[in-house]
Amino acid sequence: MDFTVNEETQVMLDLMERFVQEEVIPLEPAFLTKNFSEIEPQIDRLRARVRQMGLWGPAQPKEYGGMGLPLTDFALVSEVLGRSPLGHYVFGCHAPDAGNIEILHDHGTPEQKERWLGPLVRGEIRSCFSMTEVELPGSNPVMMDTTAVLEDGQWVINGQKWYTTSADGAAFAIVMAVTDPEAPPHQRASMIIVPTDTPGFDLVRNISVMGHTGDGWASHAEILYHSCRVPEENLLGPRGAGFRIAQERLGPGRIHHTMRWLGICRRALDLLCKRAVTRPIAPGQVLADREIIQAWIAESAAEIAAARALTLQTAWKIEHLGWKEVREEISMIKFVVANVMQKVVDRALQVFGGLGMTDDTILAYFHRHERAARIYDGADEVHKLSLARRILKPYRARAAEIREGSHVFR
Ligand SMILES: Cc1cc2nc3c(=O)[nH]c(=O)nc-3n(C[C@H](O)[C@H](O)[C@H](O)COP(=O)(O)OP(=O)(O)OC[C@H]3O[C@@H](n4cnc5c(N)ncnc54)[C@H](O)[C@@H]3O)c2cc1C
């Protein structure tokens, strides 16, 4: 495994880092206090500059106008951009479009690619991914009520979804629906492209999350599909392959998120240290002089370094060995990094005291919004269970032998 960064990549990372620091972070106070739509014109101006700099769409396919970076390079990019909640959006590699681009690229028909993929990569339109349902566990999505029935060459979709991130203003949704109820559980659902102006696609509301309803890209919607009809050709990938396709994009998607979270960790620790060396706590003393704060700094730095090494190793293995060989690590980094981030952000917020609770710094935003990291992309518990199942498998297979052997527990 080689994690050395070549000179060209380092130049690119430095450029991105400077742009985030000098252009994107200054937009945050407006982002924290205004509707997304109000600041969109400013964001669009930054996006235009990123395009001019040739840094648009770092992970997106080259033939559609992206940079086509390998996963290990994109991991480093994601960390740099993750320092601001707007970083990925400004550089055109934001969720949920990034994942949808991958699905369309790998499974779309030529017509689907022309109509949806090109404009999506170029940032001319947005999309959303509609799988989780209100009444059934997202942790076990094979339990799904939404159906799509083929009638006269059209899919007729009925169901109620929520947490469809960025649906507000999106041009289309990739909807997961049961098309084959009699098939084995993991072959029952398919992905279907639904333009959001289709009759029967009803955005009921943007859900208020942690006190904030949001709008546009920065929102999560509840959506009712009632007799929503789209052409048969809108099936994305093979019929019944919905869960398989969703699984395939888990690996790269996980690297995107975990490295973004590590970017948040770096930003939070940086802010913590700046505050600690400047905040007086007694005459002639600052917070950084207190051992408890020093311990938090050391623990945070060590936890970030360990989580980062595990994540980069996983990215390298996905790129060189394929995601199937790294299932355990893909599960591990999800809960390891999400929890490190939560701890580091919490420590930083604590060091900022009352100021940490305000929206005068980014920490309260991170605290509110990134709590969800332990829930989306598979709840931590689900990943822990599947990891433990894999670890235990060979032991269970040998349980009788272990029980009877004289060498037990040595
Ligand atoms: C900010 C955010 C953005 C999201 N964006 C999208 C999106 O764009 N599209 C989309 O389709 N969905 C999205 N989701 C939904 C997300 O995928 C689900 O919330 C997640 O899969 C968990 O499902 P659930 O909420 O139904 O919780 P449940 O499945 O009801 O689980 C609740 C809790 O039960 C525990 N649990 C679950 N399974 C087990 C188990 N086997 N053993 C022990 N404990 C268990 C876990 O602690 C879990 O947190 C988003 C969610 C959030 C918070």
Q: Please indicate, yes or no, whether residues 295 and 357 belong to a single structural domain of this protein.
A: yes
210 DSSP assignment = T
Q: Which among 94, 110, 140 is the end of a domain?
A: 94
The helix/strand count (H/E) of the chain reads as: 16, 11
Helix, strand, or coil here: 228? strand
Q: What's the whole-model pTM score?
A: 0.96
pLDDT value of position 407: 63
pLDDT value of position 409: 74
Q: Please indicate, yes or no, whether residues 336 and 287 belong to a single structural domain of this protein.
A: yes
Q: Please indicate, yes or no, whether residues 164 and 189 belong to a single structural domain of this protein.
A: yes
Sign of the Cα pseudo-torsion (43, 48, 52, 58, in order): positive
Summarised one tens digit per residue, pLDDT across range 105-158 is 999 999 999 999 999 999 999 999 999 999 999 999 999 999 999 999 999 999
CATH code assigned at 32:
1.10.540.10
Q: Which among 240, 261, 292 is the end of a domain?
A: 240
Decide: 210 in ligand 1 pocket, CB within 6 A. Answer: no
Hey, which of 132, 203, 260, 382 would you mutate to test ligand 1's pocket, going by the most ligand atoms within 8 Å of its Cβ? 132
Pick the atom of ligand 1 nearest to 375's CA. 49
Decide: 164 in ligand 1 pocket, CB within 6 A. Answer: yes
Pick the atom of ligand 1 nearest to 137's CA. 29
Q: Is residue 404 part of a domain?
A: no
Strands 285-286 and 280-282: antiparallel
Decide: 139 in ligand 1 pocket, CB within 6 A. Answer: yes
**Cα distance between residue 197 and residue 292, in whole Å:** 55
207 DSSP assignment = P
Q: Is residue 327 part of a domain?
A: yes
Q: Please indicate, yes or no, whether residues 86 and 133 belong to a single structural domain of this protein.
A: no
Decide: 143 in ligand 1 pocket, CB within 6 A. Answer: no
Report how far ligand 1's centroid is from the alpha carbon of 373 (Å). 10
| Rounded (10°) angle between helices 327-352 and 380-397 | 140
Q: Please indicate, yes or no, whether residues 221 and 318 belong to a single structural domain of this protein.
A: no
Q: Is residue 406 part of a domain?
A: no
**Average pLDDT per block of 10 residues along the chain, 410 residues long:** 86 98 98 96 98 96 93 97 98 96 96 97 97 96 97 98 98 98 97 98 97 96 98 98 90 92 98 98 98 98 98 95 91 97 98 98 98 96 96 95 77
Decide: 366 in ligand 1 pocket, CB within 6 A. Answer: no
Q: Is residue 22 part of a domain?
A: yes
Taking CB atoms within 8 Å and a gap of at least 24, the contacts of 345-352 are: 345/264, 345/265, 345/268, 345/370, 347/268, 347/272, 347/296, 347/300, 348/268, 348/269, 348/271, 348/272, 348/275, 351/272, 351/275, 351/276, 351/279, 351/287, 351/293, 351/296, 352/271, 352/272, 352/275
Q: Please indicate, yes or no, whether residues 264 and 337 belong to a single structural domain of this protein.
A: yes
Report how far ligand 1's centroid is from the alpha carbon of 253 (Å). 16
Closest-CA residue, ligand 1 atom 41, reads 382
Q: Is residue 33 part of a domain?
A: yes
Q: Please indicate, yes or no, whether residues 253 and 344 belong to a single structural domain of this protein.
A: yes
Decide: 372 in ligand 1 pocket, CB within 6 A. Answer: yes
Q: Is residue 410 part of a domain?
A: no
Q: Which among 193, 221, 240 is the end of a domain?
A: 240
Q: Is residue 107 part of a domain?
A: no
- Domain containing 216 equals 127-240
**Cα distance between residue 79 and residue 263, in whole Å:** 4
**Cα distance between residue 100 and residue 174, in whole Å:** 8
Q: Please indicate, yes or no, whether residues 265 and 365 belong to a single structural domain of this protein.
A: yes
Q: Please indicate, yes or no, whether residues 234 and 273 belong to a single structural domain of this protein.
A: no
Pick the atom of ligand 1 nearest to 132's CA. 11
Decide: 137 in ligand 1 pocket, CB within 6 A. Answer: yes
Q: Please indicate, yes or no, whether residues 262 and 324 belong to a single structural domain of this protein.
A: yes
Pick the atom of ligand 1 nearest to 374's CA. 49
Q: Is residue 334 part of a domain?
A: yes
Q: Please indicate, yes or no, whether residues 210 and 316 belong to a single structural domain of this protein.
A: no
Contact 75, 255 (CB under 8 A): yes
Number of structural domains the chain divides into: 3
CATH code assigned at 269:
1.20.140.10
Q: Please indicate, yes or no, whether residues 221 and 265 belong to a single structural domain of this protein.
A: no
**Cα distance between residue 64 and residue 67, in whole Å:** 9
Contact 88, 81 (CB under 8 A): yes
